[in-house]
């Protein structure tokens, strides 16, 4: 199968969050399964700054945006694994300091930038004669691709067998723009209605992808169910309910070569499930680095963006009570300034057991994963989540709120049957969070049971192999239905 992934981020080329990791790992895993994979991304400054050779891949391509005509180029880098990465070059649109905006807000021309990107991708596919079986688009920045294929390109024989998949990584980010984005897109005003691309008086790129794609996926089974409810649907629950039969949740995986305690050079001592004394060495090193005493008490890590969605708003009020549980806690991340100030103040008055690091530090994150006993992931909602899977890989037991992908990957440990890989709590409150921590702390005192739990965690397999296989099965099912119809 010829699979074309279209996304605004990918791995080391361009990354602000988990989307980049998913596109990178999924493309690699699909290629290993025998697919011919190509990925289209914008040519950002981050791409230009890489020490990689991008070669011209097509003649210059003209794209009409309303009354304006914009010109772009296509550049290609072939990875050692065979995946071809195509970057859309348009300096004015993409060679900016940030991908989507600044601290002051989103770029006001994001509609124009990503309309250009999507239309350019479709034109480029034909120019380079890359006829995809599946175009797999990701998030709002690519939501119009299926619309174009079903309207402007409907009679284009080049795409007559092409099917579309649209993946929601986070429904809260929707790409909603004023109505005057419609003429920019080249689409008919006839589409600007409730059943199609209109959303509360705006043009919604995300809704367009939901309505027009042949299949819609999201990044866990539970999140697929949750977003059909008013609580999690972000106003689109009705649209998603109408696509229930075409909506599927496929949990993300992690790159097990990157997150590997047996080879990780960032940690103090490599270890595996059969040499857990190495994990204890990492714990002591982390305690020293955090200026804690090297004591046999639970060491808890919290690695996250410091925003409400990630549970920091229920963690902060619980700090004083957590102190009474005789634990050590390390917080790593950046986010809202109000939480920076609160956490720094708390750290000053609780130095013996609370360490707060307001920064992004991937190497420190690895040391926390390797040295902590437990990992807090108390999210309000979590489409998939990668932290809990990484925690399992390093034998660091997740304490998670039972939502989305957290609920799909973490199973409550039962001290009687010795089954399970972590701890869950239901209520999104400080009391709910404390209940989860207390369960973990109680079990920690039973060394035999705790050792069994750590073994369970490290024996879990959340590599991309299983997830990629589900995607190929989805693709094959879509293509086989097309053949049967003919």
Query: Residue 444 sits in a domain of what CATH number?
Result: 3.40.50.2000
Can you point out the beta strands (E) in 57-172? 61-65, 68-78, 84-89, 101-102, 105-106, 134-138, 163-168
In a domain? residue 267: no
Residues 243, 365 within the same domain: no
pLDDT of amino acid 360: 87
pLDDT of amino acid 277: 96
The total number of structural domains in the chain stands at 2
Residues 245, 368 within the same domain: no
pLDDT of amino acid 103: 80
Q: Which residues of the chain have pLDDT under 70?
A: 482-486
User: In whole angstroms, how far apart are CA 213 and each of 136, 193, 281, 401?
Assistant: 9, 17, 50, 31
Between strands 105-106 and 163-168, the pairing is unpaired
Residues 284, 163 within the same domain: no
Residues 240, 216 within the same domain: yes
Residues 226, 296 within the same domain: no
In a domain? residue 364: yes
Residues 450, 480 within the same domain: no
pTM of the predicted model as reported, rounded to 2 decimal places: 0.90
In a domain? residue 269: no
Residues 131, 160 within the same domain: yes
Here the tokens at position 175 are: 């790409």
pLDDT of amino acid 481: 72
| Biggest CA pair distance of the chain | 71
In a domain? residue 71: yes
- Asked if residues 206 and 140 have their Cβ atoms less than 8 Å apart, the reply is yes
Residues 129, 173 within the same domain: yes
In the block, residue with structure tokens 């909603």: 176
pLDDT tens-digit series, residues 25-82: 999 999 999 999 999 999 999 999 999 999 999 999 999 999 999 999 999 999 999 9
pLDDT of amino acid 482: 63
Residues 392, 478 within the same domain: no
Domain assignment of residue 202, given as a range: 2-253+465-485
Dist CA 152 CA 32 (whole Å): 34
Dist CA 205 CA 98 (whole Å): 20
In a domain? residue 272: no
Can you point out the beta strands (E) in 188-337? 198-199, 202-204, 215-218, 247-249, 299-303, 328-332
Residues 358, 436 within the same domain: yes
pLDDT of amino acid 484: 59
Residues 346, 443 within the same domain: yes
Residues 189, 327 within the same domain: no
In a domain? residue 236: yes
pLDDT of amino acid 12: 87
- Asked if residues 388 and 211 have their Cβ atoms less than 8 Å apart, the reply is no
The mean pLDDT of the chain is 96
In a domain? residue 271: no
């Amino acid at each position: 199968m010829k699979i074309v992934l279209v996304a605004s981020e990918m791995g080391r080329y361009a990354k602000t969050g988990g989307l980049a990791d998913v596109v990178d790992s999924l493309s690699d895993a699909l290629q290993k399964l025998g697919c011919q994979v190509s990925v289209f991304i914008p040519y950002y400054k981050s791409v230009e700054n890489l020490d990689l050779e991008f070669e011209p891949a097509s003649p210059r391509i003209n794209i009409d945006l309303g009354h304006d005509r914009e010109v772009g180029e296509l550049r290609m880098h072939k990875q050692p694994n065979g995946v071809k990465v195509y970057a859309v070059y348009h300096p004015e649109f993409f060679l900016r300091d940030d991908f989507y905006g600044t601290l002051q807000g989103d770029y006001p021309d994001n509609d124009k930038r990503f309309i250009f990107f999507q239309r350019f991708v479709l034109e480029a596919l034909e120019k380079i004669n890359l006829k995809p079986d599946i175009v797999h688009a990701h998030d709002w920045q690519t939501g119009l691709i299926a619309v174009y294929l079903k309207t402007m390109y409907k009679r284009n024989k080049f795409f007559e067998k092409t099917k579309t998949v649209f993946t929601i990584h986070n429904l809260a980010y929707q790409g909603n723009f004023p109505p005057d984005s419609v003429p920019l897109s080249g689409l008919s005003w006839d589409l600007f209605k409730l059943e199609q691309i209109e959303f509360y008086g705006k043009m919604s790129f995300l809704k367009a992808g939901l309505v027009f794609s042949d299949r819609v996926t999201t990044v866990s089974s539970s999140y697929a169910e949750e977003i059909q409810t008013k609580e999690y649907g972000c106003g689109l629950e009705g649209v998603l309910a109408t696509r229930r039969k075409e909506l599927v949740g496929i949990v993300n995986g992690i790159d097990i070569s990157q997150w590997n305690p047996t080879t990780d050079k960032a940690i103090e001592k490599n270890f595996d499930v059969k040499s857990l004394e190495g994990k204890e060495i990492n714990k002591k090193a982390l305690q020293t680095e955090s200026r804690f005493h090297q004591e046999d008490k639970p060491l808890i890590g919290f690695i996250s963006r410091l925003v409400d969605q990630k549970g920091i708003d229920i963690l902060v009020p619980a700090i004083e009570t957590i102190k009474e549980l005789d634990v050590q806690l390390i917080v790593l991340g950046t986010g809202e300034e109000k939480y920076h100030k609160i956490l720094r103040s708390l750290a000053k008055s609780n130095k013996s057991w609370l360490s707060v690091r307001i920064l992004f530090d991937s190497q420190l994150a690895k040391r926390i994963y390797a040295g902590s006993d437990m990992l807090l992931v108390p999210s309000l909602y979590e489409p998939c989540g990668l932290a809990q899977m990484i925690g399992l890989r390093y034998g660091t037991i997740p304490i998670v709120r039972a939502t989305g992908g957290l609920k799909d990957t973490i199973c409550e440990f039962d001290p009687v049957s010795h089954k399970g890989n972590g701890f869950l709590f239901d209520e999104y409150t400080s009391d709910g969070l404390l209940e989860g921590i207390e369960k973990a702390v109680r079990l920690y005192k039973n060394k035999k049971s705790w050792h069994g739990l750590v073994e369970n965690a490290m024996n879990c397999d959340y590599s991309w192999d299983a997830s990629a296989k589900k995607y190929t099965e989805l693709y094959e099912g879509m293509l086989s239905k097309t053949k049967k119809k003919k």
